[in-house]
Amino acid sequence: MDDKINELEIDLYRAWQTILKLLPEHFSDILESSRNCQSHDEAIQWSYMIIDKLLELTQPFQDGAEDRAYCPLCGDGSSSSFRTGYAYPEGLRRHLSGDGRACECFVFHFARKLAIRRFTSVDQRTAKIKKELENRRLMEDTFRIEPLRAPKVLDEDKFNSARSPERLSWAENRLKELGFEIHYSARVKSYTQQHGAFVVFADPRGEGELRFSVYKQEQMERVSSPLQLQTSSFFLRDNWTNDLAGKYRTRLAQSIESLMSQNEA
């Protein structure tokens, strides 16, 4: 029985990959952006947010006085033989979300199910670890390494290894030399640098490199979900010593350029 289920899951996964390949790239990119979600709640939030993105990218056509559009994911339109496509945007929105009497889009339904299911199983497996982490966050120093998400403990992410206290001081000194401000309040540490309209968050927790993420200040103040934040990242290796400030400036400029070229959701 388990073998049969595994086989069906593999078939389903392949079918899904094929659907993604058949879709225009900007639509498949949106469906695959659920990979950025970091929790069950974020996956649910994501499933609502991307409906707006899909609607924005859909080109409606004129039918009489009305704007209408076919579903960009499954190609469906109204079940009425008198009408083509869905009323745009609300009819198409209902088709995607499955609200009301509209026939739900099977492609979007599946994308949402996959995004959420990933965290249902992960959440179950890691419930104990999460509880331990929550306790540690109350007892230990934590690090705000990005805006709008909770601060993390020293070894919460994937590093080769987390730094020792001595190595963390060394990394903090390096950040100070690069012009970073270190904030420490209520056991939360953060390392930031204002750069015109941009803010750089540093993450010195992992041995071997300093990680940096660049954000638009204006966007940080405006949006409420981390999923709406655009960012661009780079790193500096610990063993680089030659013209570190120059290397930092070059990489920061590249990151800012990349951030400027991203289209806002």
The binding site for Zn ion (CB under 5 A) comprises: 71, 73-74, 76, 105
Give 79-85 contacts, CB < 8 A, sequence gap 24+: 79/103, 85/60, 85/61
- Can you tell me the distance from the alpha carbon of 244 to that of 66, in angstroms, rounded to the nearest whole number? 59
Burial level of 64, CB count in 10 A (0-12/13-18/19+)? Answer: exposed
The CB-of-56 to Zn ion minimum distance in angstroms stands at 16
- State which residue, 108 or 198, has the beta carbon closest to Zn ion: 108
- State which residue, 69 or 74, has the beta carbon closest to Zn ion: 74
The CB-of-74 to Zn ion minimum distance in angstroms stands at 3
- Can you tell me the distance from the alpha carbon of 14 to that of 64, in angstroms, rounded to the nearest whole number? 41
Strand segments (E) across the chain:
61-63, 66-69, 86-87, 142-143, 181-185, 188-195, 198-203, 209-216, 232-237
The CB-of-88 to Zn ion minimum distance in angstroms stands at 13
- State which residue, 31 or 71, has the beta carbon closest to Zn ion: 71
- State which residue, 76 or 203, has the beta carbon closest to Zn ion: 76
The CB-of-55 to Zn ion minimum distance in angstroms stands at 12
